[in-house]
Amino acid sequence: MSGALGLADQGFEVTLVEKEAELGGNLRGVHFTLSNDDIQEYLGQMRTRVLEHPLIQVIMDAEVVDHSGTVGNFRTGIMVGPAMTYRTVEHGITILATGGEEYRPQEYLYGDHPQVMTQYELEGNIAQGRVDPKTMDRVVMVQCVGSRIPERPYCSRICCSVAIKNALKLKDLNPGLDVHILYRDIRTYGLLERYYTEARQRGVMFTRYTLEEPPTVTVDDHGLHVRVKDQHLGRDVTLGADALVLSTAVLPRENEELATLFKVQRTMDGFFLEAHMKLRPVDFATDGVYMCGLAHGPKRIEETLSQASAAVARACTILSRDELEVGGVIARVNEDECAACLICVRACPFGIPVIHEDGYSVIDPAKCRGCGTCVAECPQKAIELQHYRDRQLMAKVTALAEMGGG
C-alpha cells in the first residue's frame, strides 16, 4: 500500500493486486509497538487513502496466473474472485510485495495446549481481551523457535524485539507479573537496545539456553512446566507458567510459482533475492521488477516502509521516461542460417529465444541480457553478439599478435 501511494501521489496509475479479501496483510494483527504508536489507526488511514485514491485501482481476492513482456511493456493475467474471472493488466513496472508469515511450530506442545501460543497470537489475545495479564503469575517466552536451526539457518531479526515489546506490555498491564525470556542470543539491533535495557530494569528475566539443550515443556494438573538449563547456574531450572509464548520464525509466503512467472531469483531460504545487496538493494536481476517488505526477508515496519519508498524511487526512473533505450550488447539471429534446432531456446538462462512460425529463432532485443550463451551453443553459428562478432574478435587478436611480433 505504501508503494502504491508513493507512485500514485506522483501521478502514475497503479493497479494493486491483493491476494486476500482485505488490505493490510500482517499489520492487521499488530496492535502496539515498542514506541507506543497506534498502528491500527495508521493502517486504517493508509487503507482509506489507497481505496479512495483516484489513480489506484485495487483488485482484491485475486491471484497472478501469467506474465509476459519486458520493462515498460509488461502484461499480467490475474484470476479474480470466487468465480475466478480472468483479466489482464498492462503496466510498465512491477513491485512484488508478497509478504511473509509466521511459522506454525510442531514443538513445545503448540496446538495441544490452549496456553501455548505465538507472539503474534499473544498480541492479538491481549488487544481483544482474550488474555488478561492481571490473572497470571508467570509468563515464559522461548526465542528462536523454528529459526537459526539447520532447516532454517537465518535469523528472523524481529523475534527478540517483539518478545521484549510484549514483555513490556505485560508489565504495563500487571507490574507484578513474572516474565521469563529463554533466549539463545538477544538481537535488539540498532536503537532498540534501550528497550532491552528497560525490560531488564523492570524485572524481565533473561535465561540463555543452547541449541544442543533446548527447553522442554510438560503439563500436569498444575499447568505448564518449562525446564531449561541455566548456563550461569550450570543446572536445570523448572518454571511453572500460566502461558508459554513462542517467538517463531518468519517464513516467506508461497512465492515459487510467482518467481517462475516473473523470472526472478530466490534465496536458499525462499525469500526474493535482490540484484546486488548494496548497489541495487530493491531491484531484481530482471529489469523493471522490484521488491519490498517481508518478501525480501524479515524486517521491522519502519524498514519495510523505507524499502517501499526505495522501490518507488527506482520505479520512477523508468516511469518518468517517454522512451527506453536497450543495451548495445544483444544477440541477433541470422534467419537464413537458423535451423530452428531449439538449442538456443534450451540454453538461454532467461528463456528469451522463441521459434517463429516461419521456422527460425527470434530474440527480443528489449529482453536480451547479452550473456552470449546462445551464441556459444548455436551449432550453425547463426547467432552473433553485437560488438563481439567473430570477425571483430579475430581482428583484435590479429592486431594484438602483430603488435607482439613487432
**What CA–CA distances, in Å, run from 171 to 4, 129, 135, 174, 202?**
38, 16, 13, 5, 8
Instruction: Give me the pLDDT at residue 208, please.
Output: 95
Please give the share of the chain, as a percent, with pLDDT higher than 90.
85
pLDDT at 403: 85
The sheet carrying 243-248 orders its strands as 116-118, 243-248, 138-145, 178-183, 205-208
pLDDT in tens, 285-340: 888 999 999 999 999 999 999 999 999 999 999 999 998 877 778 999 999 999 99
How far the first Cα of the chain sits from its last, in Å, is: 66
Half-sphere exposure of 363 (CA within 13 A, CB side): 30
pLDDT at 406 over 70: no
Write down the pLDDT at residue 279: 94
- Domains annotated for the chain, with CATH where assigned, are 2-99+253-319 (3.50.50.60), 102-250 (3.50.50.60), 331-405 (3.30.70.20)
Whether the pLDDT of residue 123 is over 70: the answer is yes
The answer to whether residues 134 and 223 touch, using CB atoms and an 8 Å cutoff, is no
pLDDT at residue 351, as a whole number = 86
- 405 has a pLDDT exceeding 70: no
Confidence of residue 210 (pLDDT cuts 50, 70, 90): very high
Strand pairing report for 100-102 and 250-252: antiparallel
pLDDT digits 0-9 by tens, 31-88? 999 999 999 999 999 999 999 999 999 999 999 999 988 889 999 999 999 889 999 9
CA distances from 149 to 183, 188, 268 (A): 14, 19, 14
Task: Kindly tell me the number of DSSP H helices and DSSP E strands found in the chain.
Answer: 10, 21
Give the pLDDT band of residue 404 (cuts 50, 70, 90).
confident
> For 213-256, what is each residue's pLDDT tens digit?
999 999 998 899 999 999 888 899 999 999 999 999 999 998 99
What is residue 302's three-state secondary structure? helix
